[in-house]
């Protein structure tokens, strides 16, 4: 509880800082838990205890108690992506421990996660394992171009799910074919949105194409490509009077219909895929995950799980801004305690 409260009050990034919080707030923690005063674990023993946490059991408890409840009728969108735990990178190495997560588009809640060693293992099979372990292959999954491979798209398609995956230069032949199709096919639907703020104007134009009858290499046979989404993003920086343009492509097995809602659902999914990046930003900046340096085996994974728990708790408060909410909880401890009791964490 001391560890979780430390994270919820912005004391992450350094194990010594977390331990000082646990020591300074020990009387308060015992009070809100309604227990007799307990001795605080020593700074030397804290990492040794964290190393002994059984990760699979911890994760099972985490996602069974704080997991996403799926509707039996309506599929939900989840974004899949990986993130390096930079504090785990050993001297002389370029990669360390990494985590792959499935994050809800709607509220950025983590539905499942799995760790892998970046210098020995790959993100692609790890994401497939997360999808299988969580049973979310029959839902709607968005991912970046790294995950556009037959094993991943077939897994989702054959389970009755929907995928929306970025299309870039790692699949050059398929990319060029889709660019050519977009040049001569008439879109079934298109949408333009304009957002203003932070000194810039962002214009996004989405095009939805029906590619169900087009030719694809036989290795994509079980992926059932049906939809192509083209996005043109124009950003104008008002003060500098500079405009940048970016064109992106996404491929999906979503069936094309006459209903605009189907196309708009894909357009929205393209926009909301950034929810994973926002989740990573929360962990990196708000919870200071990248500043947490350790070369102890297992410690970074345990702390990553505790951060996932902290993010889940924070998301349940439905904050407009995660950083502001942590600062609010740090200033108003009674409000934090009331909230934790409301969600039955205390």
- CA–CA gap between residue 105 and residue 107 (Å, rounded): 6
Instruction: Pinpoint the alpha helices (H) of 112-257.
Output: 123-134, 150-158, 172-184
pLDDT score, position 65: 81
pLDDT of residue 126: 96
Radius of gyration of the chain (CA): 22
**Per the confidence metrics, is the pTM higher than 0.85?**
no
DSSP characters over 25-36? THHHHHHHTT--
Tally of residues, the chain? 346
- What pLDDT is recorded for position 86? 78
259: left (phi over 0), alpha (psi -120 to 50) or beta: beta
| Cβ(38)–Cβ(30) below 8 Å | yes
Strand 242-252 relative to strand 162-167, pairing: antiparallel
Helix (H, G, I), strand (E, B) or coil at 180: helix
Q: Exposed/middle/buried for 168, CB within 10 Å: 0-12, 13-18, 19+?
A: middle
Segment-wise mean pLDDT, segments of 10 residues, the chain, 346 residues: 90 88 93 91 93 88 77 82 81 81 86 86 94 94 96 97 96 96 95 91 96 94 97 93 95 94 95 75 79 78 88 84 86 91 88
Rounded Cα–Cα distance for residues 43 and 50 (Å): 11
pLDDT at 244: 95
Dihedral class, residue 17 (left if φ above 0, else alpha if ψ from -120 to 50, else beta): alpha
Q: How far apart are CA 138 and CA 46, in angstroms?
A: 41
CA 144/CA 80 separation, integer angstroms: 8
Residue 188 has a pLDDT of 96
Tokens representing 92 are 């002389």
Buried b (16+ CB within 10 A) or exposed e, 76-95: bbbbbbbbbbbbbbeeeeeb
The pLDDT of residue 275: 62
What pLDDT, on the 0 to 100 scale, is given for residue 120?
73
Q: Which residues pair with 81 in a beta bridge?
A: 101
């Amino acid at each position: 509880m001391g560890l979780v409260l430390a994270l919820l009050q912005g004391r992450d990034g350094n194990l010594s800082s977390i331990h000082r919080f646990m020591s300074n707030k020990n009387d308060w923690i015992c009070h809100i838990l309604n227990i007799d005063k307990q001795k605080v674990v020593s700074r030397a023993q804290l990492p040794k205890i964290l190393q002994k946490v059984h990760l699979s059991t911890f994760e099972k408890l985490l996602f069974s108690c704080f997991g996403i409840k799926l509707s039996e009728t309506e599929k939900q969108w989840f974004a899949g992506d990986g993130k390096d735990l930079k504090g785990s990178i050993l001297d002389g190495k370029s990669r360390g421990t990494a985590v792959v997560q499935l994050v809800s588009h709607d509220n950025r809640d983590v539905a499942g996660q799995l760790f892998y060693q970046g210098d020995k293992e790959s993100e692609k099979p790890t994401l497939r394992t997360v999808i299988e372990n969580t049973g979310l292959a029959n839902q709607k999954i968005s991912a970046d171009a790294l995950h556009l491979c037959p094993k991943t798209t077939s897994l989702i398609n054959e389970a009755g799910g929907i995928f929306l995956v970025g299309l870039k230069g790692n699949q050059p032949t398929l990319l060029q074919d889709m660019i050519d199709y977009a040049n001569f096919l008439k879109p079934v639907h298109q949408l333009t949105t304009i957002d203003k703020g932070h000194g810039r104007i962002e214009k996004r134009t989405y095009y939805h194409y029906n590619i169900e009858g087009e030719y694809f290499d036989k290795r994509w046979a079980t992926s059932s490509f049906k939809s192509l989404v083209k996005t043109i993003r124009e950003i104008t920086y008002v003060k500098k009077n500079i405009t940048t343009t970016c064109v992106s492509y996404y491929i999906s097995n979503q069936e094309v219909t006459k209903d605009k809602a189907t196309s708009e659902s894909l357009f929205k999914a393209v926009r909301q895929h950034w929810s994973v990046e926002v989740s990573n930003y929360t962990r990196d900046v708000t919870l200071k995950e990248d500043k947490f340096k350790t070369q102890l085996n297992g410690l970074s994974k345990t702390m990553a799980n505790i951060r996932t728990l902290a993010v889940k708790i924070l998301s349940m408060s439905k904050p407009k801004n995660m950083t502001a909410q942590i600062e609010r909880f740090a200033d108003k401890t009674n409000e934090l305690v009331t909230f934790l009791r409301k969600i039955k964490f205390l």
